[in-house]
Amino acid sequence: MFSVRNAYNLACTLEDRPCSSSLHQNEHSWWRRLWQAKLPNKIKVFIWRACSNAIPTGKSLASSIPSLTVCCPFCKDCEEDVLHTMVLCPFARQVWGCAPFHLVAVRIGSMGFREWLTAVSVQFDEIDFQLLLGLCWSIWWCRNGLAMNGNCLDPPQVVCFVSQYLSSFRTQNSDDQRQVTPKVPSSWLAPPPGYVKINFDGATFNNSRVLGVGVVARGSSGECLAWISKRFQRMGDGEMAEAMAARETILLAKRKNWPSVIFKGDCATLIDKILAPVVDLSAIGPIVADIRSSATDFCSISFQFVRRSCNSVAHALAHSVCDYAEGVSVVLVEVAPYVFAEQFS
C-alpha cells in the first residue's frame, strides 16, 4: 500500500545506497551545482525544465497539437527541439560564438540537451558556469520574442545583456551587500544639474469607466516645469494606467526638448518591463515598445522605481481626474498647480 512515509523511506534508502556508476555520481553533482549556483531562481527553474524537455518547443507542442508547425522560428528549416534551439540552431551558434568562453567540442550523436549541458559545463569555473546557464535562458527568451512578435536581440546584444544582468545580480546578492541595508529615500529628491526628473502615476477607480494619469516635471532646484492630469476611457487594469502614464511622460519630454531626463514611477513591474531586453507579450506590450522606441531620442534617459511617498504629487494628479467635468481631459501648465503647492516646498 502506497503512503508518503513509505515513499520517503524508499528515497532515503536509495540515497544512501552506493552509486552503480560514476555517470550517476557526475549527474548528481551537476544537479547540486545547478541548484547551488548564485543565479536568479527563474534561470535555475528554466534550466531544470529544459533538461527535462518540459519547455514548449515546436516538437513537443506538435505532439499534442498536430496542426502546429514544428520548424524552428530562427532558421525555419529544422525541427525544433530543446537541443536544436539551444545548441544546433545558427542563432544559438552565433550566441555561443560571441560568449567570452570557448565551448569544448562535444560529439552530440544521440545525446539530448541535458547530456550536452553536463558535458560542456565541466570545464567552467563558477562565473562561466553561471553565464552558460544565463545564455541558455536568454536564447529561449529571444526565441519566444521572435515567435510571438517577430523580433529579438542580436547575438552580441544577448551576451552583453546576460553578462550585465548576472553581474548586477551577484553584486546585489553579495555578502557585503546583505550586511548593509541601503537607506531608501522616503521623500522626493531633486535631480542633478542639467537633468529634468519626471514623476508619473496611473489610477483606476471602482465602478468607473475612466482611468487617470498624473505627471509632474521638476528641475534640479525643485521647481515645477510642467504637469499633466489627464483622463482616459478605461481600457485595462492598474498596470495599463501606469503604462499610459509612462508614455505621457516621454511624450511631454519630447515636446519640451529636454535632452537629459529621469523618469520615476511607483509600479515596479512596469519599470522592469521597460528595462527588460525581451519583447513584452502582455497587454501593455505595445505601449512598452513605444516607450522604448521613443527613449532613443534622448541624450541621457533612465527609468527608475520610486516609493509612493516620493511620488505623491503625480499620485494626487492622477486621482484628481475624478473631479473634472465631462469632456475635461488634460491640464498642462508651466507653473505648479496651486492645489499641490505645499508638496513642492
Q: For position 76, what pLDDT does the model report?
A: 87
Q: Is the pLDDT of residue 14 over 70?
A: no
Residues 6+ apart with CB under 8 A from 61: 68, 70
Rounded CA separation 316/328 (Å):
17
pLDDT confidence of residue 345:
43
Cα 334 from Cα 218, distance rounded (Å): 10
The reported pLDDT for the residue numbered 172 is 80
Say which range, 131-140, 254-263, 320-329, has the weakest mean pLDDT: 320-329
Comparing 176 with 207, which gets the higher pLDDT? 207
Confidence of residue 216 (pLDDT cuts 50, 70, 90): very high
Mean pLDDT of 117-124: 88
Distances in Å between the Cα of 256 and the Cα atoms of 207, 222, 260, 262, 272 are 36, 17, 11, 14, 26
Output the pLDDT for position 149. 82
Is the predicted pLDDT of residue 129 greater than 80, yes or no?
Answer: yes
Other Cβ atoms within 10 Å of 190 Cβ, number: 13
Q: Helix, strand, coil proportions of the chain in percent (round to 5)?
A: 50, 15, 35
Average per-residue pLDDT for the chain: 82
Mean pLDDT within 223-228? 88
**317 to 207, 291, 308, 313: CA distances (angstroms):** 20, 21, 13, 6
Query: In the chain, pLDDT over 90 holds for what percent of residues?
Result: 31
The answer, yes or no, to whether residue 59 has pLDDT greater than 90, is: no
3 state SS of 42: helix
What does the pLDDT read at residue 337? 52
Domains, the chain, with CATH or none: 22-175 (no CATH), 196-344 (3.30.420.10)
Looking up cell 557526475, which residue turns up? 26
Q: Do 191 and 209 meet the contact criterion of CB atoms below 8 Å apart? A: no
Mean pLDDT of the 170-196 span: 70
What pLDDT score was predicted for residue 342? 46
Q: Yes or no: say if 318 and 245 are a contact pair by the CB < 8 Å rule.
A: yes
Mean pLDDT, rounded, for 210-227: 89
Question: Is the pLDDT score of 242 beyond 90?
Answer: yes
Q: Please return the burial class of 148, using the count of CB atoms within 10 Å of its CB with bins 0-12, 13-18 and 19+.
A: middle
Q: What is the pLDDT of residue 35?
A: 92
Amino acid letter at 109?
G
pLDDT at res. 127: 93
Residue 102 has pLDDT above 70, yes or no: yes
What per-residue string of b and e applies to 45-57 under the rule 16 or more CB within 10 Å gives b? ebbeebbeeebeb
Residues 6+ apart with CB under 8 A from 171: 177
Name the grid cell of 163: 553578462
Tell me the CA distances in angstroms from 224 to 71, 187, 240, 255, 262, one per residue in order. Answer: 55, 16, 26, 16, 14
Positive/negative CA dihedral, 304, 310, 312, 314: negative
Tens-digit pLDDT profile for residues 249-290: 999 999 999 999 999 998 988 998 888 877 788 888 899 999
Is this prediction's pTM over 0.85?
A: no
Look-up of cell digits 483622463: 231
The residue-averaged pLDDT of 44-53 equals 93
Task: Give the per-residue pLDDT at 295.
Answer: 86
